[in-house]
Structure 1
Amino acid sequence: MNIINKKSWHIDEKEVTPKEIFEKRRTFLKLGAASLVCSSSIVEALAKEQLPIKTLKYIEDKNPQNLKLNSYEQITSYNNFYEFTTSKEGVKPLAHTLNTNSWDIVIDGLVEKEMILRFDEFIKKVDLEERIYRFRCVEGWSMVVPWIGFKLSDLIKYVKPLSSAKYIYFETLFDDEMFPDQARKYFSAISYPYVEGLRMDEAMNDLTILAVGLYGSSLPKQNGAPLRLIVPWKYGFKSIKSIAKISFVDKEPLNSWQKENPKEYGFYANVNPNVDHPRWSQKKERVLGSFFKQNTLMFNGYEKEVAHLYKDMDLTKYI
């Protein structure tokens, strides 16, 4: 596995789980509670963690900013995934209908050769990394998530887009047998399939990843299994889930929320506390599990890495 130089935004893996607890937890799972002698504080900590068994091999992240991660339970139990339901707490119990076996991803458009990627095969060709990122929802809540994934730029280089490709178009799986709200057709919450897009330079940025897991294990269905986009400086709806199609195009894609309500949502969706949503302020956010709100950072705290992408652009116009 190649060694990857750590960036300033990387977060220390030990912040995900204290090493002592993690190692004892592995032993606890392997040997069983009856054969492990440990302190009551460790047992209590294990009970509170509710972490999955670590199943993925990846390059661990570091935490120079010392961010506090949200719990696995919070991250996997509070989700926007309209294909199932508009209830955030209701997604998890419904997500079992998503079948991720034999997952294919269609690659088409302005590429040297259109193809179908077999997810299980392609994942073996890339180096997985841990990326612990802030995640900011346009609705005003946020969390910190230890994603596992690979750089989108790795996939772009693999499929070899033509020089005429200026944007990337993403599409969520359309299958009304798996997704209850898709089955509602004209009465569904939004139009399907869900669509998102990025400018090519945004897609090639080192921060942009395709996530396949979190907290060391494969991505839960309610979080967009088996493959979702993560663009940490943009509002969460930009990070499309359960991707089944990736197209390279020469014109700006019309993303789903822009199509649903162009007065409230634009193509870029950059986190900008200086531009309010028409119905609420974006200056502050509430981290899941916290009572008090905190200030929202420009570009969600990644200004140093991405501000140059929007030089000379009016960010009150290009929202």
Structure 2
Amino acid sequence: MSKVPKEPPAGEITPEALYLRRRELLKNAALFAGTASAIGGGLVWLTGGAARRAGGEAAPGGEAAPLASAPAELAAPPAGAGGRGAFVTDEARTPYEDVISYNNFYELGLSKSEPAANAGRLRLRPWTVACEGEIKKPAVIDLDTLLAWFPLEERVYRMRCVEAWSMVIPWLGFPLAALLKRLEPTSRARYVQFTTLLDPKQLPGQRSDVLDWPYVEGLRIDEAMHPLTMLAVGLYGKTLLGQNGAPIRLVVPWKYGFKGCKSIVNIKLTEQQPKTSWSQAAPDEYGFYANVNPAVDHPRWSQATERRIGELRRRPTLPFNGYAEEVAGLYSGMDLRESF
């Protein structure tokens, strides 16, 4: 009878370079909301040069506000997406308080509790996303314009962290494909690169040298265009808080959580594979694809099982985090042990 592996201790499930630099956990920290009232905005076409960073006034503290445009029912899934079941799992949802208090967002702190404690520093309005590269319509788009363009959908996805813990989260957002189609990728667009805000005043974790800031992630364009891939602006029917990647973040449910770039300010379509933050920092541990694969262990722990937050027992990790039927075809003919 095979022995069920024990949960790795904290010093093993966090990458060593970060664990050794971890600051003392903040005590009695208040949770800050990452919401602000919407302001006027619009679309600014780029004529060349680098896109400007987001900035603005600090968001008020308090609880996350309900998203007025959140639908009561999930919108009909796109054709070929595997049906409603691909968008809503029947597994128990992770409690909201756990989702907003147990976070990996190193820009806001290196422990699980620091992102929530520091999230009030992040100013969420005004916020723009620069879209550039191999597209016919480069633009700097105000967040409120994005929200006006695309109706929000609720999707209840499994989320699997590379550290071998997991959650089930009801996200609110829209398909990334909808935005990319509007930008009109050129024939040279093969990858999509995402970049997080760079501002150590708002994101104090960027004062450390644990990663080469700003945080950069990327997808192949067919992954980015897949119906399951979304840009999220809320969860549990409320606006995202800073610790969860407010005001807009990437969600790719069949990949490890570190692929989900948070607080996005730049989306760039490229011909060459982007150099992403974790695969640059530790290429033997964090690959570009980062598909959930129980057969490929992390060098310091097994990926065969996971700990669902709120549960005592470990559970088997599912290939592609349970989305194999929908996405395995994207990797036909690839050796997923080599291209991990």
TM-score grouping bracket, smaller chain normalisation: 0.7 to 0.9
1:218 matched to which residue of 2? 239
Q: How many residues align?
A: 266
Tell me: CA distance 1:65–1:80, structure 2 relative to 1, closer, same or farther (3 Å). closer
Say which of 149, 152, 155 aligns to 1:131.
155
Say which of 88, 97, 110 aligns to 1:73.
97
The secondary structure found in structure 2 opposite 1:155 is: helix
Tell me: CA distance 1:107–1:132, structure 2 relative to 1, closer, same or farther (3 Å). same
For the 8 Å contact 2:233–2:246, the answer to whether it is kept is yes
Say which of 244, 252, 258 aligns to 2:265.
244
Aligned sequence identity (%): 48
Point out 4+ residue stretches in structure 1 off by more than 6 angstroms.
none
1:48 matched to which residue of 2? none
Matched, 1:298 2:319: yes
For the 8 Å contact 1:86–1:189, the answer to whether it is kept is no
The secondary structure found in structure 1 opposite 2:326 is: helix
Please list, as runs of the form range in 1=range in 2, the aligned pairs for 1:1-319 lying within 5 A after superposition: 54-59=66-71, 60-61=73-74, 65-182=89-206, 184=207, 187-319=208-340
The two structures have a TM-score, normalised by structure 2, of: 0.76
Counterpart code for 1:58: A
2:15 matched to which residue of 1? none
Unpaired runs of 5+ residues, structure 2, are 1-62, 75-83
Tell me: CA distance 1:104–1:65, structure 2 relative to 1, closer, same or farther (3 Å). closer
| CA deviations over 1:175-218 (Å, ceiling 9, x no partner) | 11101122x2xx43211000000000000100000000000011
Unpaired runs of 5+ residues, structure 1, are 1-50
| CA deviations over 1:121-147 (Å, ceiling 9, x no partner) | 121110110010000000000000000
For the 8 Å contact 1:52–1:215, the answer to whether it is kept is no
**Inter-partner Cα distance in structure 1 for 2:232 and 2:333:** 31
Give the structure, 1 or 2, with the largest relative contact order (CA under 8 Å, sep 6 or more). 2
Counterpart code for 2:117: P
For the 8 Å contact 2:159–2:256, the answer to whether it is kept is yes
RMSD: 1.4
Tell me: CA distance 1:89–1:166, structure 2 relative to 1, closer, same or farther (3 Å). same
Counterpart code for 1:254: K
**Inter-partner Cα distance in structure 2 for 1:318 and 1:56:** 42
Q: Report the structure number with the largest CA radius of gyration.
A: 1
| CA deviations over 1:229-261 (Å, ceiling 9, x no partner) | 000000000001000000010011111000000
**Inter-partner Cα distance in structure 2 for 1:254 and 1:239:** 15
Counterpart code for 1:305: E
**Inter-partner Cα distance in structure 2 for 1:312 and 1:56:** 44
**Inter-partner Cα distance in structure 2 for 1:102 and 1:65:** 34
Q: Which moved more, 1:126-135 or 1:57-66?
A: 57-66
1:34 matched to which residue of 2? none
**Inter-partner Cα distance in structure 2 for 1:102 and 1:228:** 16
Shift of 1:270: 0.0
The secondary structure found in structure 2 opposite 1:83 is: helix
The secondary structure found in structure 2 opposite 1:124 is: helix
**Inter-partner Cα distance in structure 1 for 2:317 and 2:68:** 32
